[in-house]
């Protein structure tokens, strides 16, 4: 068994593994919502990954361990200057800094893109995630009933 974690950009051939990961991770946490993931085909996901790889504002990174995706993060364009961020790590791999590695990679990528601001929404009752985001310079810009809107400059 390998003991090396690899953080890399996704490629269209990751579609099947990424969908499998998202389905697993979606069942492991109350903080993840992927209602429509069951209806996404591998072909559609591969097409989506291909489009994302060509974008200046959208990007997906994966954490791969022993041939399986165990974490992912995504930057998704919300305006001409802003992308929204999200990160998910499989429960068996929590507390191994994988979310930090992915976040660091995404922020570095954003610095070399036209993105000026990165935003995210996080549940208030998720202190681990809030701590992670604050560690990387995100600050709360808006407080909602159950969530915080946090932002940082790219």
Give the Cβ contact number of residue 103 at 10 Å: 22
- Strand duo 5-9 + 59-65: pairing: antiparallel
Per-residue confidence (pLDDT) for residue 31, from 0 to 100: 53
Per-residue confidence (pLDDT) for residue 24, from 0 to 100: 86
Per-residue confidence (pLDDT) for residue 23, from 0 to 100: 85
Kindly report the average pLDDT of the chain as a whole number: 91
Q: Are 82 and 67 in contact (CB under 8 A)?
A: no
Report pLDDT digits (tens) over 104-116: 999 999 999 999 9
Q: Are 100 and 132 in contact (CB under 8 A)?
A: yes
Instruction: Give all domains of the chain, ordered by start, each with its CATH number.
Output: 5-115 (3.40.630.30)
**In which band, very low, low, confident or very high, does the pLDDT at 1 lie, cut at 50, 70 and 90?**
very low
Question: Could you give the percent of the chain with pLDDT greater than 70?
Answer: 92
**In which band, very low, low, confident or very high, does the pLDDT at 40 lie, cut at 50, 70 and 90?**
confident
Q: Which residues contact 91 (CB under 8 A, 6 or more apart)?
A: 25, 28, 29
Averaged pLDDT, 17-36: 75
CA separation for the pair 66, 147 (Å, rounded): 34
Which helix (H) or strand (E) is 74 found in, with range?
A: strand 68-77
Averaged pLDDT, 66-81: 94
Report pLDDT digits (tens) over 76-95: 999 999 999 999 999 999 99
Q: 73-77 long-range contacts, Cβ below 8 Å, gap at least 24?
A: 73/99, 73/102, 73/103, 73/105, 73/106, 75/106, 75/109, 75/110, 75/115, 75/118
Report pLDDT digits (tens) over 115-138: 999 999 999 999 999 999 999 999
CA separation for the pair 84, 106 (Å, rounded): 11
CA separation for the pair 69, 102 (Å, rounded): 12
């Amino acid at each position: 068994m390998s003991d090396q974690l690899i953080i890399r950009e996704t490629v269209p051939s990751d579609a099947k593994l990424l969908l499998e990961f998202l389905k697993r991770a979606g069942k492991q946490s109350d903080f993840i919502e992927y209602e429509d993931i069951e209806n996404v085909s591998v072909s559609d996901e591969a097409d989506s990954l291909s489009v994302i790889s060509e974008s200046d504002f959208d990007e997906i990174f994966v954490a791969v361990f022993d041939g399986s995706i165990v974490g992912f993060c995504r930057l998704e364009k919300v305006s001409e200057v802003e992308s929204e961020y999200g990160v998910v790590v499989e429960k068996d791999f929590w507390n191994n800094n994988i979310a930090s590695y992915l976040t660091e990679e995404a922020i570095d990528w954003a610095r070399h893109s036209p993105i000026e601001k990165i935003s995210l929404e996080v549940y208030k009752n998720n202190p681990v995630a809030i701590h992670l985001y604050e560690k990387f310079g995100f600050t709360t810009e808006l407080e909602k009933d159950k969530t915080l809107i946090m932002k940082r400059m790219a």
